[in-house]
């Protein structure tokens, strides 16, 4: 074995870890519910919304991952270099949005734990936060996090695949709806994009690569592969959930109630299906907890001069505050609505700042592809328009 082999193996491990971190950060409790509800509403045509959202997600992630890793700086520092002070605003938005959504993610771990074992929701949340905290306290926290999110990501895919096989969805109809939809729902597409690459998720994988030292123009091909892999992993999970829900609907399930995703699993596979849902919910939620904590703290380091030296303590504080709010308040619905609105703005703001930063890099001889620049600005305009509409709806109370 050559000396380069361990290095190459380390790069591949970090790259797959970044892809899974991004993907599992996106697949949280909201992701499960969102996919199920839209399937019940749009039926086979929801496949088209998934297809378009995957394409837009790839545009967004390729732009952000490439710019950040080529510069070798986290998003907030690049933003400050481009427009002084904008990085601090971005850091506050990402950290606040990540904190509030993490409260929902921790609630999801408790609900999943309860569905899988029957034990109290609060106990499941406390145990899950303790597991997440332990990951960040081990000696090689980065490698531990990579292994954890990859293992649970694969488990999640296997479990959902089983439910797809049991529910027996009409595949031909799903394929036809994906490429020739009866309904095109723009709101569904934008919701999927925001849920997949919105908020802290936008930067999760790229910041993990910086942590692993995978930076500079020489690693661009590797970075491209990681960005696309992360989106495709998320897309695969979304498609499998869509097929599972579509199969259940085709067999007569009326999707609704307090927990639409759980109803799909229980309808398709009975009591065992409900237990599987608990495992899926817990895996989706706890990996999102880990992703939110890691990425939010990677932004908080900029606001705190000694943040790099105290990163583990910042993560523990972040987890502790999230858990305390959940245990004291329960599921903070109003906060989650506002966090969703804020996270909707983070993608266009963060992506616009990264696109502006790419112009500065071009002055130093590092060219950003024109097709990525055009697709990036298109994504900024689309997401900004729908985010403004979302703010108006929240203010109106609709």
Instruction: Assign residue 249 the CATH number of its domain.
Output: 1.20.1740.10
State percent of the chain over pLDDT 70.
86
| Averaged pLDDT for residues 365-384 | 85
How many domains is the chain built from? 1
Q: What percent of the chain has pLDDT over 90?
A: 7
Residues contacting residue 341 through CB under 8 Å, at least 6 positions apart: 387, 390, 391, 394
Per-residue pLDDT reduced to its tens digit, 205-241: 888 888 778 888 877 788 888 888 888 888 888 898 8
Structure tokens at 398: 């609709």
Q: Is residue 322 part of a domain?
A: yes
Angle CA 201–204–210, to nearest 5: 160
- Say if residue 274 is exposed, middle or buried (CB neighbours under 10 Å; 0-12, 13-18, 19+): middle
Closest among 28, 49, 35, 65 to 227, alpha carbons compared: 65
Assess whether pLDDT exceeds 70 at residue 1.
no
DSSP annotation of 216 reads S
Per the listing, tokens 């579509």 go with: 246
- Among 13-22, 152-161, 331-340, the least confident range: 331-340
Q: Is residue 173 part of a domain?
A: yes
Q: Domain for residue 6, yes or no? A: no
The answer to whether residues 274 and 265 touch, using CB atoms and an 8 Å cutoff, is yes
CB atoms within 10 A of CB 282: 27
Say if residue 179's pLDDT is above 90: yes
For the chain, where are the alpha helices, taking DSSP H only? 4-26, 29-42, 46-71, 75-82, 86-117, 121-137, 141-167, 171-179, 186-197, 201-211, 220-250, 260-303, 311-329, 333-362, 370-396
pLDDT at 3: 41
Instruction: Look at residue 47 in the predicted model and tell me its pLDDT.
Output: 92
152 within some domain: yes
Model pLDDT for residues 330-347, shown as the tens digit of each residue: 654 455 556 656 666 788
Domain assignment present for residue 1? The answer is: no
Tracing tokens 């908020």 back to the chain, one arrives at 199
Provide mean pLDDT across the span 163-180.
91
Burial of 6 (0-12, 13-18, 19+ CB in 10 A): exposed
User: Which residue segment(s) compose the domain that 71 sits in?
Assistant: 11-396
* Confidence at residue 332, expressed as pLDDT on a 0 to 100 scale: 45
Does residue 305 surpass a pLDDT of 60?
no
Indicate if the pLDDT at residue 308 is higher than 60. no
Tell me whether residue 3 is in a domain. no
Of the chain, the end-to-end C-alpha distance in Å amounts to 63
270 assigned to some structural domain: yes
Handedness of CA 191, 197, 198, 200 (dihedral sign): positive
Tell me the range of 103-107, 226-230, 277-281 where mean pLDDT is highest: 277-281
Nearest to 47 by CA among 163, 179, 185: 179
| More confident call, 139 vs 80 | 80
pLDDT higher than 90, residue 312: no
The residue with greater pLDDT, 164 or 141, is: 164
Residue 4 lies in a domain: no
């Amino acid at each position: 074995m050559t000396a380069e082999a361990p290095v190459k193996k380390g790069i591949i491990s970090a790259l797959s870890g970044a892809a899974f971190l991004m993907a599992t950060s996106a697949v949280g409790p909201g992701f499960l519910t969102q996919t199920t509800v839209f399937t019940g509403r749009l039926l086979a045509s929801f496949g088209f919304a998934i297809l378009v959202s995957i394409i837009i997600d790839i545009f967004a992630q390729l732009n952000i991952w490439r710019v950040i890793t080529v510069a070798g700086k986290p998003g907030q520092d690049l933003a400050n270099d481009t427009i002084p002070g904008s990085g601090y605003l971005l850091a506050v938005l990402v950290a606040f949005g990540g904190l509030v959504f993490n409260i929902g993610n921790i609630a999801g771990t408790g609900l999943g734990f309860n569905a899988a074992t029957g034990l109290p929701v609060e106990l499941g949340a406390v145990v899950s936060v303790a597991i997440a905290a332990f990951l960040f306290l081990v000696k090689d926290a980065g490698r531990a996090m990579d292994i954890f999110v990859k293992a649970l990501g694969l488990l999640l895919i296997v479990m959902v695949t089983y439910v797809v096989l049991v529910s027996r969805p009409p595949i031909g109809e799903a394929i036809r709806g994906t490429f020739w939809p009866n309904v095109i729902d723009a709101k569904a597409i934008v919701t999927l994009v925001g849920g997949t690459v919105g908020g802290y998720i936008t930067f999760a994988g790229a910041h993990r690569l910086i942590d692993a030292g995978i930076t500079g123009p020489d690693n661009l091909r590797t970075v491209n592969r990681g960005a696309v892999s992360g989106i495709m992993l998320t897309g695969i999970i979304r498609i499998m959930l869509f097929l599972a829900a579509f199969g259940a609907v085709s067999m007569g399930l009326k999707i609704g109630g307090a927990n639409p995703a759980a109803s799909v699993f229980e309808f398709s596979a009975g009591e065992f299906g409900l237990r599987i849902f608990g495992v899926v919910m817990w895996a989706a939620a706890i990996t999102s907890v880990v992703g939110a904590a890691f990425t939010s703290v990677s932004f908080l380091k900029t606001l705190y001069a000694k943040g790099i030296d105290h990163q583990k303590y910042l993560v523990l504080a972040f987890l502790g505050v999230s858990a305390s709010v959940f245990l004291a308040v329960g599921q903070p619905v109003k906060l989650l609505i506002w966090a969703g609105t804020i996270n909707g703005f983070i993608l266009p703001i963060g992506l616009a700042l990264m696109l502006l930063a790419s112009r500065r890099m071009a002055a130093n001889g590092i060219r950003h592809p024109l097709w990525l620049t055009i697709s990036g600005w298109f994504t900024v305009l689309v997401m900004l328009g729908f985010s403004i509409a979302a703010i108006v709806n929240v203010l109106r109370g609709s």
